[in-house]
Structure 1
């Protein structure tokens, strides 16, 4: 399988996992009665890191779809567009890097906030919320797993875009273009 097809497959898989992450977090709610009288609803908006994760995962999924469309246009109509335009190759590489780091950072921040919900913090008198909202916590855990899988897939995609960029340059002299 050539690198263009591999990149397309990786982008499709990462888009699926990013959409799954956004939906699992965004649609996750659980309502419990506190003291048998007061309903309390747990949603992703209760933890800012989960709220940010939904938006970043959605934006990264849209970015991957745009890159898939660009790749389809490039292979269908304009052969070897990246080799002709170094600026485009640099832009794709830098955007892939930024999207990968953002997804990883958002997942890590959400995981850190979620760990406090699992373990609690006695010094701040924060109770363990996952004892009360078990289904909510399990679904968030599954969403974080999907988010980390998407981040790993995006790391591999970013490596492919780095290869596509740096193959344009000469291996003998640093950042000197290859002659034709």
Structure 2
């Protein structure tokens, strides 16, 4: 049963790595140039700070998941648990929750900014609909944000798995102390 749980966690981590990497690549490498009134204008992720934040957070999430996947591989092949210490388990849980929160909050902020680009704002700013000009750019950003949202949902599931592993350590120590007393 433990091996199946490790395999499921490994699959979720690999899927999270793939989605976070796809998101970072789609958002970070997306550019489109259009000529407006004989002046070439270029749209990139750096133009919108929320997209830049999504790029950085997705990259951090992918790197963290690679590290955790490496630890999971050690558990699988060597049968040496990485999370045998409560301190390490707490650190992993807090990191996963922080990364999940940042990724989800960044996705929401970037989605709100993208909606302004898609629909525009009439009053009081009179921002035009940028997605009418940069169509391909907006579609790729939308795909990147969708990947980020799914990756953040996977991170939330993985965070609950980490919480379960942490509380198993407390349950094991608590049951051992009762056996020693009586």
TM-score normalised over the length of structure 2: 0.89
The match for 2:20 is: 18
2:116 matched to which residue of 1? Answer: 116
Checking the alignment, whether the CA contact within 8 Å between 1:168 and 1:178 is kept in structure 2 is: no
Q: Which moved more, 1:60-69 or 1:161-170?
A: 161-170
Extract structure 1 runs of 4+ deviating beyond 6 A.
Answer: none
Q: Tell me the residue number matched to 1:106.
A: 106
Unaligned runs of 5+ in 2: 178-182
Distance 1:66 1:88 in 2: 13
The answer for the alignment partner of 1:38 in structure 2 is 39
| 1:73 positional shift | 2.2
Q: Is the 8 A contact 1:21 1:146 kept in 2?
A: yes
RMSD: 1.7
Task: Indicate the residue corresponding to 1:179 in structure 2.
Answer: 176
TM-score by length of 1: 0.90
| Counterpart-to-counterpart distance in 2, 1:161 and 1:48 | 31
Give, in whole Å, the separation in 1 of the partners of 2:157 and 2:6: 13
CA distance in 2, matches of 1:177, 1:103: 35
The 2-side partners of 1:177 and 1:75 are apart by: 26
2:96 match: secondary structure: helix
Following superposition, the deviation at residue 95 of structure 1 comes to 1.0
Q: Answer yes or no: is 1:71 the counterpart of 2:49.
A: no
After superposition, give the CA deviation of every residue in 1:4-47 in whole Å (9 maximum; x if it has no partner). 22111101000000000000011111111112x11111111110
Distance of 1:32 and 1:106 partners within structure 2: 27
Number of residue pairs matched?
A: 174
Aligned match of 2:180: none
